[in-house]
Amino acid sequence: MGAALLKERENQVHVKGEKPFNLVCNKDSLAGAVSQRACVFCGSRVVLYPIADALHLVHGPIGCAVYTWDIRGALSSGPELHRLSFSTDLQEMDVIFGGEKKLRRALLELIARHSPKAAFVYSTCIVGIIGDDLEAVCKAVAAETGIPVIPVQSEGFKGNKRAGYQAACEAMFRLIGTGKTAGISKYSLNILGDFNLAGEIWMVREYYERMGIQVVANITGDGRVDDICRAHGAALNVVQCSGSTMQLAKMMEEKYGTPAIRVSYFGIEDMSETLYDIARFFKKQYPDDPETDRIMERTKALVQEKVRDLVPKLEKYRKALAGKKAAIYVGGSFKAFSLVKAFRLIDMQVVMVGSQTGTEEDYRELEAITDPGTVIVDDANPLELNSFLKEKGVDVFVGGVKERPIAYKLGIGFCDHNHERKEALAGFEGMLNFAKEVYSSVMSPVWRFVPRKEQASASFSA
């Protein structure tokens, strides 16, 4: 392996076709390797953040709140309380004598000032160390104020980002089942794991509405507490970004019998398949109900209309980008599947793909859909990514806020497919935006003035 790859990490990198697949993943990051992963608290914060009419209070030092301030950029069609980052700003004396009183005061003041529908209180590293009883404080404040006040057990040190997703799902699960389900259609669903980063949940909701399916709750993009409270009344959970919300879907299936399907809204192929899967689900549930045939008819009409409109528009980008190389590094690997297919649609070659929190099943699927020679990497660090990008001669790197500087320092185009994106990249319209964004980045004249760094001399072949 190349010089940038630490010996202890060799089994977390696989080059397709070089040896049998045996990638190790889902383990703690190697100490000192400077993982691209975020902490547990950050994991829970990104999942719950888009619940727009809830109060989000970070119980910890101010740095934790700053780190995750407005982290998702998730859009709301109404209240925007989620965009404010509140913190108890724990200081030395609080660490010595405990922060419970301060937390109670902060909650009472903020609830009186902002009248939220619910409050989430995030535990951070220091709170886990000093042992503040969040549960007791939240319970007392909930009784005093009459709104749900929910602790999120997300001490930063207790695992990796996945543990944060779990803490967020457990917190949300306390709300589910507390609302009334009257008026919910038997053709209904909850959208899980779309965070409405650039208004995408509105596009997807429109597709469902055109199909004749009611959306009960957005979990969590453009989320509302009341909708989440009645989410158990929906017939189906449709889970994108399964790493972050699949746990919630499993808990709902166990307690309320709500089935779940995994979907992706990225790329023409996956977006179409998602809509057909949902139409098929209702047909299977109610085979004799003619409404299910109508749902299928409406789905076909919708997909045909969108694809007919989109394919000719993609042609210009496909021609210009054919043969260019792409690398992908994302939080959860489910998104990576769709990106591999989306790049294929515009004739680009994916030469590296990795994620922070992929499972063995995810990586096996990635191995199956990528081309020979593709580097597949779990829990990478900046040095490794840097080396892979140079080694493979990448033209565009797709990632999030922490990957952007790696690309730019190398003189490589970058496409933000994470928290900070401002362009909708999901849905049919999103595929066109994606092609446009990749095109603008790869073909930008700026690269004449910022030449690409030389290819790495070290090889990543085993």
Q: Which region among 4-12, 35-43, 318-326, 327-335 touches ligand SF4 (by CB under 6 A)?
A: 35-43
- Cβ neighbourhood burial of 446 (10 Å; 0-12, 13-18, 19+): exposed
In angstroms, give the least distance from the CB of 318 to ligand SF4.
42
Contacts of residue 149, defined as CB under 8 A and 6 or more positions apart, other chains included, come to 107, 111, 118, 119, 121, 138, 139, 141, 142
Among 9, 54, 67, 260, binds ligand SF4 (CB under 6 A): 67
Closest to ligand SF4 by CB, 42 or 152:
42
Indicate the residue whose CB is closest to ligand SF4. Answer: 156
Calpha distance 249→252 (Å, rounded):
5
Residues that bind ligand SF4 (rule: CB under 6 A) add up to a total of 9
Q: Which of 411, 373, 369 is nearest to 392 (CA)?
A: 373
In angstroms, give the least distance from the CB of 39 to ligand SF4.
3
- b/e map of 252-281 (b: 16 or more CB within 10 Å)? beeeeebebbbbbbbbbbbbbebbebbbeb
Closest to ligand SF4 by CB, 106 or 340:
106
- Strands, sheet with 236-239, edge to edge from the N-terminal-most edge strand: 214-219, 188-192, 236-239, 260-262
Sign of the Cα pseudo-torsion (46, 49, 50, 51, in order): positive
- Cβ neighbourhood burial of 243 (10 Å; 0-12, 13-18, 19+): buried
In angstroms, give the least distance from the CB of 154 to ligand SF4.
7
Closest to ligand SF4 by CB, 154 or 247:
154
Strands 413-416 and 118-123: unpaired
Among 46, 48, 57, 64, binds ligand SF4 (CB under 6 A): 64
List the interface residues with ligand SF4, window 139-168 (CB under 6 A).
156
In angstroms, give the least distance from the CB of 128 to ligand SF4.
8
In angstroms, give the least distance from the CB of 229 to ligand SF4.
28
Closest to ligand SF4 by CB, 90 or 198:
90
Among 36, 85, 88, 124, binds ligand SF4 (CB under 6 A): 124
Closest to ligand SF4 by CB, 42 or 410:
42
Among 41, 49, 317, 434, binds ligand SF4 (CB under 6 A): 41
- b/e map of 86-98 (b: 16 or more CB within 10 Å)? bbbbbeeebeeeb
Mapped onto helix, strand or coil, the DSSP state of residue 332 is: coil
Calpha distance 82→56 (Å, rounded):
7
Calpha distance 299→422 (Å, rounded):
28
List the interface residues with ligand SF4, window 170-209 (CB under 6 A).
none
Contacts of residue 252, defined as CB under 8 A and 6 or more positions apart, other chains included, come to 173, 176, 231, 232, 237, 258, 260
Task: State the residue for tokens 């055109």.
Answer: 210
In angstroms, give the least distance from the CB of 419 to ligand SF4.
15
Closest to ligand SF4 by CB, 124 or 244:
124
In angstroms, give the least distance from the CB of 389 to ligand SF4.
27
Amino acid found at 140: A
In angstroms, give the least distance from the CB of 26 to ligand SF4.
19
CA distances from 228 to 172, 191, 250, 452 (A): 8, 11, 15, 48
In angstroms, give the least distance from the CB of 357 to ligand SF4.
16
Among 125, 336, 366, 377, binds ligand SF4 (CB under 6 A): 125
Q: Please, which residues bridge with residue 350 across strands? A: 326
Output the six-digit token pair for 432.
């066109």
Closest to ligand SF4 by CB, 45 or 306:
45
Closest to ligand SF4 by CB, 41 or 334:
41
Among 4, 25, 35, 60, binds ligand SF4 (CB under 6 A): 60
Closest to ligand SF4 by CB, 163 or 456:
163
Closest to ligand SF4 by CB, 153 or 292:
153
Calpha distance 226→238 (Å, rounded):
19
CB 152 within 8 A of CB 119: no
Q: Which region among 36-44, 225-233, 316-324, 447-455 touches ligand SF4 (by CB under 6 A)?
A: 36-44
418 scored as a contact of ligand SF4 (CB under 6 A): no
Among 4, 25, 39, 197, binds ligand SF4 (CB under 6 A): 39
Residues making contact with ligand SF4 (CB under 6 A): 39, 41-42, 60, 64, 67, 124-125, 156
